[in-house]
């Protein structure tokens, strides 16, 4: 019985906090460069541009989406909280398709071959690209996933989350940004 409780607690903790290869969740401003959250994710710094290869072999450049709101989501196929959050991102992409673009950045390395089959099985409807060390460092050295950034129409990071984010938190920020435009 104790083993069942312990396993249940571990699954619950992973679901809430995210997948972490390092124990240090508390990043300082120095660790994140210019992207340290102020309060609950507010940062207001220019998002680092990137060009990454998508799962279908195309180059995806962040700056190509300037003028739209962008959700950048670092994730992996082996991460339970990532898997739980992706359906919300699919819904957001459907509901806000004219104004918002979700870009999934897969940090899968050993499991890279699982990305496309996973995307097809769950119905991901937004571009997914493969991370490299440069983009991971540019976004503060991603240590836990999922890690998400919301980028406004001007290319500024306006929100950042580590761990599973309820859809309502995303949509609250999206609605505020859309009301400003």
Domain ranges of the chain: 2-180
| 135 close to 105: Cβ distance less than 8 angstroms | yes
Residue 82: the pLDDT is: 97
Distance CA 34, CA 139 (A): 9
| 78 close to 118: Cβ distance less than 8 angstroms | no
Residue 17 predicted with pLDDT over 80: no
Strands 128-130, 144-145: pairing is unpaired
Strands 144-145, 147-151: pairing is unpaired
C-alpha pair distances (Å), 126 with each of 21, 37, 64, 71: 26, 26, 15, 10
- Among 62, 82, 124, 135, which one carries the catalytic annotation? 82
What is this structure's pTM? 0.80
Rg (CA), the chain: 16
- Among 76, 79, 103, 142, which one carries the catalytic annotation? 79
Mean pLDDT value across the chain: 83
pLDDT level of residue 179 (50, 70, 90 thresholds): very high
Residue 18: the pLDDT is: 59
Crossing angle for the helix pair 2-17 and 80-95, to the nearest 10 degrees: 40
Least Cα distance to 96 among 172, 5, 3 occurs for 172
82 is catalytic: yes
Which of the four CATH numbers 1.10.1130.10, 3.40.30.10, 2.30.40.10, 3.20.20.70 does domain 2-180 have?
Answer: 3.40.30.10
Average pLDDT over residues 160-179: 96
| 96 close to 174: Cβ distance less than 8 angstroms | yes
User: To which residue do tokens 């440069």 refer?
Assistant: 134
The more confidently predicted of residues 23 and 51 is 51
Residue 181: the pLDDT is: 72
Q: Return phi, psi of residue 61, to 5°.
A: -115, 130
For 62-81, the DSSP string reads: GGGGTTSEEEEEEE-TT-HH
Residue 171 predicted with pLDDT over 60: yes
For 114-168, how does the pLDDT look when each residue is reduced to its tens digit (9 = 90+)?
999 999 999 999 999 999 999 999 999 999 999 999 999 999 999 999 999 999 9
19 is catalytic: no
Least Cα distance to 128 among 58, 47, 33 occurs for 58
C-alpha pair distances (Å), 22 with each of 61, 75, 143, 174: 29, 15, 6, 30
């Amino acid at each position: 019985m104790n083993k069942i409780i312990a396993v249940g607690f571990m699954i619950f903790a992973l679901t809430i906090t995210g997948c972490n290869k390092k124990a240090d969740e508390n990043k300082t401003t120095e660790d994140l460069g210019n992207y340290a959250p102020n309060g609950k994710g507010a940062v207001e710094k220019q998002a680092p541009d990137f060009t990454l290869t998508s799962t279908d072999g195309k180059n995806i450049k962040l700056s190509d989406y300037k003028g739209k709101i962008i959700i950048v989501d670092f994730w992996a196929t082996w991460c339970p909280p990532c898997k739980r959050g992706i359906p919300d991102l699919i819904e957001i992409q459907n509901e806000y398709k004219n104004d918002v673009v979700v870009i999934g950045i897969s940090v899968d390395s050993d499991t890279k071959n699982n990305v496309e089959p996973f995307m097809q099985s769950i119905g991901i409807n937004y571009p997914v690209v493969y991370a490299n060390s440069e983009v991971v460092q540019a976004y503060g050295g991603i240590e836990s996933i999922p890690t998400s950034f919301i980028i406004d129409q001007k290319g500024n990071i306006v929100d950042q989350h580590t761990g599973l984010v309820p859809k309502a938190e995303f949509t609250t920020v999206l609605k505020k940004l859309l009301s400003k435009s």
